[in-house]
Each structure stands twice: as structure tokens, then as C-alpha cells.
Amino acid sequence: MAINSNNALKAKHVCYLAGTGGGKTTAVKLLNMVGDQCAIFDLYGDYKYDGRKLGHFNGLGGRAVYHYANRWKFARAFVEAWRSSKKFVVAYSPEFPKSLKGEQLKKAKQAELYWFGQLMWEAADGNRELHVVIEELAKLSDTAGKDDSIIGELATGGRKFGVVLHTVFQRSQEVPKTIWNNSPRKVIGAQEAQADAKRVSVELDADLQDIYLISKLNALYEDERLYYLVKSKGGIGNTEPKVIHLKTGKAENLTFDQLRAA
């Protein structure tokens, strides 16, 4: 059970939102919003780490990520790392029988996600931060409304127990409102459709033309740099543009004038 409740802790949850190839995982890796102690639900191996290779896309922004495919091995590694109080990144990448298809496979994936989420809740401690990254949550969500699962609990109750939840989506309409409304920080990358851009513009009180612009720039410079609008704290507005230079992995703050002149 989560311990050491502290209502003075600020909500730091982050939603990352961009279309296919829009730079969601790149933002998680390189915008430096993920803290020193981190657990990842990594169904698709997006954070694989190869110790023989260097580079900022390796692991989590160059940080070593240790992957585990079954519950027992992951739980043991996570608990040992968490108790050590040292920096760590561990990832749970469960494997599933090839015979599972469709709804059966989704339910199996959900079961693993909820087990992972329950373990994070049990470990949470208001005296220290635990960063929890969940990729492509929409594929495992049953609703875009109220999320009554343990993931919803991490979003609503995790703040006062030191949990910082990082959730990754392709479209804002797919995000359960429990997650979106309890995530004061948001990272917006390239959008796939005008309807998505307009929805995000309203949600963030951001200039629609700026959202169109980052989508165009990211298509134009996809091998060089990626642009984002980042909402850094709660409240209306509070957005600023950022760019990630893909060759160096460095993130840079921009003014809106600099973005519009790019």
C-alpha cells in the first residue's frame, strides 16, 4: 500500500500526445521530464537498451533500461532497485502466447498493465518520487471517460504519494478524462488531422496555427529536429515551444517568435 501521504506535493503527471511518427517516445526520452527512479510498461520494446552501443535513443535518453518479460523477475528487480534508493530504469515487457488474438489478447495485456500499476501503487512513497511511464495507453483503455482502473488511481491519488505518471497517446480523444484532467503537464507533437489539432488547441488554450506549424515543421525536418508545444504546469495557457535536435539529442527552449520563424 502507498505510504507517507503528503498533500503538499504538486501534481507532475505528463501526457504526451502526437500522431504516428510524431515524436511521442522521443519526447519521453529526451525532454528530461522523467526522473531518476523510473519504471516503464513497455509492451513494444521502445526503450530497449544495448550496452554495446552509445547514443541518446538507446534506452531512456542513453540511460540503461533493464527489461523483464515475466512478473516475478520484474517485481524482484524493481523492488531491489527501489529499495536501493539509487537511480534506475526498469521496464516490464510481458510476452503473450501467439494463439491469443483480438479481444483475448487485449484482455491479457490489460491484466499485465493492471498488475504493473498495482505494483507501482504498492511501492509509492510520499517521501520520494517514482516516475511511471506507460506507452500507448489508449490501446488498453476501455473508455475515454472516467478511468476506474488502478491506472486511474495512480492519476488521481498518486500525486500525494510521489507518483509521477507519464502516459503516451496518439489522439486526445483517446485519452481517458481521468488521465488528461489530472496531468497538468502536456507535450504536444505533430497532429495527424485538423480535428485533432483543433481539439488540442481548445484543450490547451494554444494558438491553432502554432499546432499546424509544428505538424508541418516535423514533417519537413523529421530527420533533423522535432518541434513540440509543452504545457509545463497547470492552469490555462502556460505553453511554450521546444525543439529536440535529433543528431545531438539536445532539447532547446524556443520563443514563439523563434518557432514561427523556423
In a structure prediction context, what are the per-residue pLDDT tens digits for the chain, which is 262 residues long? 789 999 999 999 999 999 877 899 999 999 999 999 999 999 999 999 998 888 999 999 999 999 999 999 999 999 999 999 999 999 999 999 999 898 999 999 999 999 999 999 999 999 999 999 998 787 887 765 677 789 999 999 999 999 999 999 887 777 788 888 899 999 999 988 888 889 888 888 889 999 999 999 999 998 999 999 999 887 777 899 999 999 999 999 999 999 999 8
Give residue 145's pLDDT. 60
Burial (CB count <10 Å: 0-12, 13-18, 19+), residue 49? middle
How would you classify the pairing of strands 225-231 and 185-188? antiparallel
User: Could you tell me the sign of the dihedral formed by the alpha carbons of 157, 163, 167, 172, in that order?
Assistant: positive
Give residue 93's pLDDT. 97
Angle subtended by helix axes 150-157 and 102-123, to nearest 10: 40
19 and 196 in contact (C-beta within 8 Å)? yes
Give the distance from CA 153 to its chain's centroid.
16
Is 0.85 topped by the overall pTM?
yes
Nearest residue to 216 via CA among 194, 233, 239, 238? 194
193 and 182 in contact (C-beta within 8 Å)? no
204 Cβ contact list (under 8 Å, min separation 6) = 186, 188, 229, 231, 237, 239
Give residue 204's pLDDT. 83
Give residue 238's pLDDT. 84
Nearest residue to 118 via CA among 71, 84, 174? 71
Nearest residue to 165 via CA among 193, 192, 185, 190? 185
- CATH class, 14-260 region: alpha beta
162 and 128 in contact (C-beta within 8 Å)? yes
| C-alpha to C-alpha distance for 213 and 191, rounded to whole angstroms | 10
| C-alpha to C-alpha distance for 73 and 261, rounded to whole angstroms | 50
Which residue(s) pair with 67 in the sheet? 91
| C-alpha to C-alpha distance for 102 and 174, rounded to whole angstroms | 19
Q: At CA 104, angle to CA 103 and CA 110, rounded to 5?
A: 85
